[in-house]
Amino acid sequence: MKHIPFTTDLAVEIREDKTDGVVARGYGRAVPYGEPTEVAGVTEQFARDSFDPSEVIGKPFAYRHDEPIGVIRDATNEPDGLYIDFEILDTAQGRDAATLLRGGASKGLSVGFAPIESAWNKAKTAITHTRAKLLEVSQTHMPAYPTAGVSVVREETTMTDPVVETEVVTTEVEDNEARENIAALRREISALQSKMNTAEPVHPLAEYRSFGHYVKAVYSGEIESRALDVQTLADAPGLVPPVWLREIKGVLDRGRPCISAIGGPTNAAGAGMTVNWPYFTGDLSAIVATQASEGDEVNSVDIDILKGTATLATYAAGSRLTFQVIERTDPSYVDAHQRIMVGAYGTETDYAFQAGLWANDTAGIDYDFSGDTDGSAFIEAVWAAAIDVETATGQPAEVVYASSAVMKKLGAWDKFQSQNYPVQNVGGVFDGRTGRATVMGLPLVLAREFATDDSESAIVTNRAAIGWLEDGPRLATNDVAGNLGRDYSIYGYAVVAPYITAGIVGIYDQTP
């Protein structure tokens, strides 16, 4: 709590009839607004309406700050300050205080308050309180504000006598004892004020606007030259958890590029493990002929519809996972396990399809791989194979499956250009960003399962010549309560279906 004394004229009513316990009533300005005063080297003032009158009513009126002698009965905010009406109770100290007021020995008021909102100037030499809470008001003979205090003393002889306002004038007190008491009282009040009006201690860091401002001052050497104790992560091992990346590296998901290049798998759902399909291998040019003469017998040949057959193979894998690994891993082991299983199924079945291409192709185009320095020989071989595919199936070629040796050599062939730039008048393009390439407009797909000795460089075909029949894949689970585990499996039924082998045209490396 802070105390600031003010000087003003007080209006005081001294009562002879004290049956209601009141010895005097007073009125005056307790706090001036907008009038600065210097307290302990700091200029201090109150802004207008900085006190709430409703919170002032009922606060103590004191002879000394710690000795209440009365109560504040009313309070109002005026343009020039906070005015109060107070009563002094009929006690020994109350009667002494009323005598001092009447005699003019005590002309000021001192307020005890708690600042709520205040504003300092930039130099920290002046402060304005914009909101404050009044705690008590006391008499004083040495006010800080010379304009604050009790305005007028009013006196009456009986309860019914009219109130007469008279300006308080300082009178000589003839009684020596009273003078001594007043002198002692003044000394005591001065001693109390010297303690109460000392400036609040200022923190040595108060001149800095923020911690960042202080840090800059330390860094520049303006203050603080001592070394600080360094705290490192080694000092807090219990607060530094390990960092785990959420993505599981090495889980390859290549898909099934070779199967997808012919439109994906053909549904083989049904009963049994054998798949059959009808096909025709006859010569279309031998069926229809010109009639020799009118009435002659037309050409007639056998048209045989043959049956192709293949037995479905089962592709599967499984694992038993404990409930602990299922429930207590993060990222989820189950999720990673299933992703790996699906990726493995796709890789294995795509390799099986490539093996079926290799086993069922028709020896078609000879090609000198080592002698092809610019890709022109490869482009010529692909075009020739595409013609053979269309001849055998009646449909244009759809894809070129190439070995890794061919795919790796594309970048050195002049006839193949990067698709990063506009290209024209070239036989093929490639895009290193996506791994895609084309030759003569056909997609060039990497067949990783083709022989590494480059004896068969590529195969040209379409979906009319070969297919991948499949029922699956499916995921299966089964709880094993006795072992607190769960079995996870992936499985599917599939097989290569070489419909027309003449339409699976190989490009063979015939290096001399």
231 vs 211: which has the higher pLDDT: 231
CB under 8 Å to 379, separation ≥6 — which residues? 415, 427, 428, 439, 440
96-100, long-range: CB < 8 A, 24+ apart? 96/63, 96/181, 97/63, 97/69, 97/139, 98/12, 98/14, 98/23, 98/24, 99/178, 100/139, 100/182, 100/185
Which of 20-24, 195-199, 238-242, 378-382 is predicted with the least confidence, judged by mean pLDDT? 195-199
b/e code 483-507 from CB counts within 10 Å (16+ = b): eebbebebbbbbbbbbbbbebbbbb
**Tens digit of each residue's pLDDT (9 = 90 or more) over 363-420:** 778 888 888 888 899 999 999 999 999 999 999 999 999 988 888 888 788 888 765 5
How far apart are the C-alpha atoms of 456 and 95, rounded to whole Å?
125
Quick one: how far is CA 185 from the chain centroid? 67
Listing DSSP states for 431-469 in one string gives ETTTTEEEETTEEEEE-TTS-TT-SEEEEEE-TTTEEEE
416-425, long-range: CB < 8 A, 24+ apart? 416/375
In the predicted structure, residue 444 carries a pLDDT above the cut 50: yes
In the predicted structure, residue 208 carries a pLDDT above the cut 90: no
What's this model's pTM, rounded to 2 decimal places?
Answer: 0.54
**Tens digit of each residue's pLDDT (9 = 90 or more) over 54-78:** 999 999 988 776 788 899 999 999 9
**Tens digit of each residue's pLDDT (9 = 90 or more) over 8-49:** 556 666 655 566 788 888 888 889 999 888 877 788 999 999
**Tens digit of each residue's pLDDT (9 = 90 or more) over 76-116:** 999 999 999 989 888 888 888 888 887 777 767 888 888 99
In the predicted structure, residue 421 carries a pLDDT above the cut 50: yes
CB atoms under 10 Å from CB of 331, counted, come to 12
> In the chain, what percentage of residues exceed pLDDT 70?
79
How far apart are the C-alpha atoms of 25 and 89, rounded to whole Å?
9
Listing DSSP states for 181-216 in one string gives HHHHHHHHHHHHHHHHTSPPPPPTTTTSSSHHHHHH
How many angstroms separate the most distant Cα atoms in the chain? 169
Give strand ranges (E) for 121-160: 126-140, 149-150, 152-156
How far apart are the C-alpha atoms of 381 and 457, rounded to whole Å?
10
